[in-house]
Structure 1
Amino acid sequence: MADITLYHASPSRSSVTLWMLEELGVPYDIKLLKLSEGDQLKPDYLAINPMGKVPAIKHNDVVITESAAICTYLADAFPEKKLNVPLGDARRGPYLKWLFFGPGCFEPAVIDRAAPRKEEARRAMLGYGDFDTVMNVVAKAVEKGPWILGEQFTAADVVIGSNVRWGTIFKLVPERPEFAAYSARIAARPAAQRAEAKDNELKDK
């Protein structure tokens, strides 16, 4: 039995964590949940994540939920894989900014655009401000490449990259050359390819 167990529904937001684990290249087990059968709401899983959502991971005796938190934790837990920016490095500030920006700004902006309110919310009420600004900020961050922090691929690229790829596939983000090029670089990563292949295999189980 591996030290890490991923509680996973295929495909879902937990696919982000699956990709992160493949990037790390460390052993892990998968506990597959079927959302269609309500596995995420059964008592044994609610004991892991009372929110009844995936993903969650168990690393030895530690349980972590929320995709960006999991990616941050794993990158710090395995610093030799160089998917984090360590304490004391000035780049850790921007690195953490992007890890929080994914679930705090990018995803809410995209979901609000996909499922609009009856009445448009005031900009000041929204934690992300407005959709166009979010897209412009992310496009500027990835345009130089290859990765958000330059030459180093980090967990921030797993979080932001997953959002950009997902939004591009479902046409929920603008068709911009910066996003297309970034998505192509991500799709070419062997770990991303392994994770996608594993998801395709798991979704039929």
Structure 2
Amino acid sequence: MSNELVFYTNPMSRGRMVRWMLEEVGQPYRTELLEFGTTMKAPAYLAINPMGKVPALRHGDTVITEVAAICTYLADAFPQAGLAPAPGSRERGPYYRWLFFGAGPIESSVNNKAMGFQVPPERAGASGYGSLDAVLHTLEGAVSHGDYLVGDRFTAADLYVGSQLGWGMQFGTIEKRPAFERYVGRIMQRPAAIRAREIDDALMPKKK
């Protein structure tokens, strides 16, 4: 079985997070660029991801979709990169917590705001995340306690949550708070983060 890593993406997508993760892992990978509405919806790619969206990752015969799942998979598949606490360690629980916090409360609350939808206060308990204010308050506390979300080192949870914070502040869906800006500014200076941005920026459509 081939163990080739194939990365399906578009530089104007959440695939930028996975690009960063791949650069952190440091393993060779091949990039397949797809276009919205055309090659993403073509039969060849729908066989990889029936949702017809990116990113996706194929590792040999294994296909992974969804950014948090891809980041978690890569951290476990290549433990030598040191991007996840050891299984069974006391830090493994908080690590999962923040990955799923990013995939659940952060993603849902920020997307709802971007779409102009606000959960009625009386229905907040049924929304799964309560309110955007509650999500941001919780996150602000987490990034204020130390340099990283889990323990004293950078993990895939920082990459995923930090990317969401960076994008949200850039596009105005997350308010700029000093703790967020310090945290994002720090992790975005990692060499792998810089390489990933340079790669994807070079793949962006050229302005006419």
Shorter-chain TM-score: what band? over 0.9
Corresponding residue for 1:99?
A: 99
Corresponding residue for 1:72?
A: 72
- TM-score when scaled to structure 1? 0.94
Question: Is residue 4–residue 60 contact of structure 2 (8 Å, CA) maintained in 1?
Answer: yes
Give yes or no for the alignment of 1:50 onto 2:50.
Answer: yes
Question: Is residue 40–residue 52 contact of structure 1 (8 Å, CA) maintained in 2?
Answer: yes
Question: Is residue 6–residue 58 contact of structure 1 (8 Å, CA) maintained in 2?
Answer: yes
Corresponding residue for 1:13?
A: 14
3-state DSSP of counterpart to 1:58: strand
Corresponding residue for 1:88?
A: 88
Alpha carbons of structure 1 residues 146 and 44: separation in structure 2 relative to 1, 3 Å: same
TM-superposed CA distance for 1:2, in Å, is: 7.2
Alpha carbons of structure 1 residues 118 and 112: separation in structure 2 relative to 1, 3 Å: closer
**Matched letter for residue 46 of structure 1:** L
Give, in whole Å, the separation in 2 of the partners of 1:114 and 1:130. Answer: 14
RMSD of the TM alignment (CA)?
1.6
Aligned residues: 204
Give, in whole Å, the separation in 2 of the partners of 1:14 and 1:94. Answer: 24
Corresponding residue for 2:135?
A: 134
Give, in whole Å, the separation in 1 of the partners of 2:118 and 2:164. Answer: 25
Corresponding residue for 1:162?
A: 163
Runs of 5+ in structure 1 lacking a partner? Answer: none
Task: Write the deviation string for residues 32-58 of structure 1: whole angstroms up to 9, x where unpaired.
Answer: 0011x5221111000000011111000
Question: Is residue 119–residue 127 contact of structure 2 (8 Å, CA) maintained in 1?
Answer: no
Give, in whole Å, the separation in 2 of the partners of 1:174 and 1:155. Answer: 23
Question: Is residue 34–residue 40 contact of structure 1 (8 Å, CA) maintained in 2?
Answer: yes
Q: Determine what percentage of the aligned residue pairs are the same residue.
A: 46
Question: Is residue 8–residue 32 contact of structure 1 (8 Å, CA) maintained in 2?
Answer: yes
**Matched letter for residue 115 of structure 2:** A
Give, in whole Å, the separation in 2 of the partners of 1:15 and 1:119. Answer: 29
Structure 1: 4+ residue segments shifted above 2 A: 116-121
3-state DSSP of counterpart to 2:146: coil
